[in-house]
Amino acid sequence: MNLIQIDIIEALKSIFLYNPKAPLIFTRFFFWAFFAFVLLGYSLVYKNKNRSIRAGYLFVLSVFFYYKSSGFFFFLMLFSIVLDYFVGKWIYHSQNQTHRKFLLAMSVIINMSVLAYFKYSYFFIDSINTLFDTHFVVVNHLAQAANSVAGTHFDIDRILLPVGISFYTFQTISYSVDVYRRDTEPVKNLIDYGFFVSFFPQLVAGPIMRASGFIKQIYTDFSVSKVEFGWAIFMILKGLIKKIFIGDYIAVNFVDRIFSAPLTYTGFENLMALFGYSLQVYVDFSGYTDIAIGVALLMGFRLPQNFNSPYKAKNVSDFWRRWHMSLSSWLKDYLYIPIGGNRSGSVFSYVSLVILLAIVVLLVGNFILIPVFAVVILSFAILMRFFPGFKRNVDTNINLMLTMLLGGLWHGASLNFIIWGGLNGIGLVIYKFWRKISPWEAYNNWAATIWKIAVTFTFITFTRIFFRAESMAIVKDMLHQIGSAFKISVIPEVLVAYKWVFLIMLLGFITHWLSYKFKQKIEDWFVATPIWVKAIIATVVVVLVYQSISSDMQAFIYFQF
């Protein structure tokens, strides 16, 4: 083979084979070449009266996208698609309520078991070893089976988390539940269902789509108005600015450095890293969502809003109505309300809380917590028995607390995530009581609004230390530096040393806190401009954004969940 043939083969490999060092993400140039190819083919099928041809085309390319993002884990997604398509079909056509419940339970158990295998195997093995003084090691049984059957050479000593598994698992479960509740009819065929689950713009990090809101779009005519086209381009450019120009820059040049070694930095730098991470996680995740919404709209599909200026929230409850809205509403509709909502605690609520406390004991690795928790539970039980008002308060708030704790556990089997979820749950419960007695709750003048936003944002930022830190040791080190090594005298020096980081952080916060009316004017102006103006603006933005890259492309934060 000559050099030209070798170069061609290597180029084809880079195009069609998965590269774990360069997974396909929105910010890579390869993605935009891929999307251009998608649109080229889509222009040939989007008007076809047989909607399944359009769905099938996008389904195949979505599977390829997932393969390029996560390797052979696409087989796992296909398994989930086949399973829940037929389960949904059987549930819908069955008239036997017991049979329908069994099928729904089967869907939930299988999907959650697969999710638990990948997300929590290390936790389960470590817990067993701790409890019984055993020495089990994690073995990737799926990789082992693939090696035996297909002669592959996958690593069996590690279990890697498939990108986006939590998102598409929640999506398939909600489909089965919606069909069971008869809130939606099942899709017409397997291809349509596969498209619904795998649609590549939202596949690996949401927003989580509901069957009732998306499936009907599969069977409607393609339609994108001139205004919608302009808005889609605006959303894509906004997402790129958020993710690369703001998020990646402050992460690489400041936030990641502080969190990796907090004791080598002053308390002021640690505090600024916390606020920087609050900005980073927002622009990173909402930037992904903006791009996903824009890309999907160019193909005629409307994805749900996932963020609504969450740092404008005046309280913790308001924050969770604005942040990751598709997950918040999913937890509300498929967990919080079914287990009782704010009406009363159920047996499931209390059993789940005990299980969560047991998980905390295992994560801490200190069994002295067992009698401590036992005393706390017994004390609560006695108070609830003799004081109806106390029982009523516990009953109406336990499901809220449980939902937030499970939301933390959803992010991973880590004590940090459970503390993060617990703190947010406590914040929600405290606010429920505070708003009833606060003399300032009704005040909404500019000073009161600023104060409420500042307090809420500071609280949310504080909880993020548990979300971002890789261990409790990092948390302790950061809190120690902030509390005892603040060093006010070095603040001017730090501001100068990291001037570009702080200027970009300031830009990010200012643009976030701008009024809705002002933002809408900018958006409307862009949408109204001629196509050639949009092209010039897009070119300038892309050049500036990609010029700001100071290291390799950073994966989106929520890919790890």
pLDDT tens-place string over residues 147-173? 777 666 677 777 778 888 888 898 999
**How many domains does the chain fold into?**
3
For residue 43, how far is the Cα from the chain centroid? 31
Assess if residue 454 is contained within a domain.
no
> Which is nearest to 405 in space by CA: 393, 378, 392, 423?
423
Query: For residue 561, what pLDDT is reported?
Result: 62
Identify whether residues 263 and 211 lie together within a single domain: no
State yes or no: pLDDT of 133 exceeds 90.
no
Q: Which of 93, 99, 411, 480 is catalytic?
A: 411
Cβ neighbours, 10 Å, residue 64: 18
Assess if residue 114 is contained within a domain.
yes
With tokens 């502080």, the residue in question is: 258
State yes or no: pLDDT of 118 exceeds 90.
no
Identify whether residues 85 and 159 lie together within a single domain: yes
Identify whether residues 397 and 316 lie together within a single domain: yes
Query: For residue 5, what pLDDT is reported?
Result: 67
Torsion of CA 55, 61, 63, 64, to 10 degrees: 170
Identify whether residues 161 and 190 lie together within a single domain: yes
Assess if residue 459 is contained within a domain.
no
Q: What confidence tier does 102 reach under pLDDT thresholds 50, 70, 90?
A: very high
Structure tokens at 114: 């697969």
Assess if residue 195 is contained within a domain.
yes
Assess if residue 409 is contained within a domain.
yes
CB 422 within 8 A of CB 363: no
> What percent of the chain is modeled with pLDDT above 70?
95
Query: For residue 555, what pLDDT is reported?
Result: 67
Assess if residue 463 is contained within a domain.
no
Query: For residue 158, what pLDDT is reported?
Result: 78
Identify whether residues 137 and 232 lie together within a single domain: no
Q: Which of 117-121, 344-348, 417-421, 497-501 has the lowest mean pLDDT?
A: 344-348
Identify whether residues 129 and 72 lie together within a single domain: yes
Last residue of a domain, one of 194, 222, 250: 222
Q: What is the pLDDT of residues 286-305, one digit of tens each?
A: 999 999 999 999 999 999 88
Q: What confidence tier does 242 reach under pLDDT thresholds 50, 70, 90?
A: very high
Across 375-395, average pLDDT: 83
Q: What confidence tier does 549 reach under pLDDT thresholds 50, 70, 90?
A: confident
C-alpha 465/C-alpha 455 separation (Å) is 16
SS3 percent helix, strand, coil of the chain, rounded to 5, is 75, 0, 25
411 catalytically annotated:
yes
Q: What is the pLDDT of residues 202-212, one digit of tens each?
A: 887 778 888 88
Identify whether residues 19 and 92 lie together within a single domain: yes
Assess if residue 449 is contained within a domain.
no
Identify whether residues 18 and 125 lie together within a single domain: yes
> What percent of the chain is modeled with pLDDT above 90?
43
Across 9-33, average pLDDT: 81
Specify whether the backbone of 184 is left (phi greater than 0), alpha (psi in -120 to 50) or beta: beta
Identify whether residues 298 and 313 lie together within a single domain: no
State yes or no: pLDDT of 85 exceeds 70.
yes
Query: For residue 124, what pLDDT is reported?
Result: 81
Last residue of a domain, one of 178, 198, 222: 222
Q: What is the pLDDT of residues 250-269, one digit of tens each?
A: 998 999 999 999 999 999 99
Query: For residue 151, what pLDDT is reported?
Result: 67
User: Rounded to the nearest 10 degrees, what angle do helices 74-93 and 165-180 cross at?
Assistant: 10
> Which is nearest to 467 in space by CA: 255, 305, 288, 296?
255
Last residue of a domain, one of 422, 438, 454: 438
Across 25-30, average pLDDT: 84
Across 217-243, average pLDDT: 92
Identify whether residues 303 and 392 lie together within a single domain: no
Assess if residue 489 is contained within a domain.
yes
State yes or no: pLDDT of 340 exceeds 80.
no
Across 472-484, average pLDDT: 91
Distances (CA, A) of 117 to 71, 134, 156, 161, 165: 18, 20, 14, 9, 11
Across 459-477, average pLDDT: 92
C-alpha 423/C-alpha 431 separation (Å) is 12
Domain, as residue range, for 259: 224-307+471-561
Identify whether residues 67 and 19 lie together within a single domain: yes
Identify whether residues 19 and 103 lie together within a single domain: yes
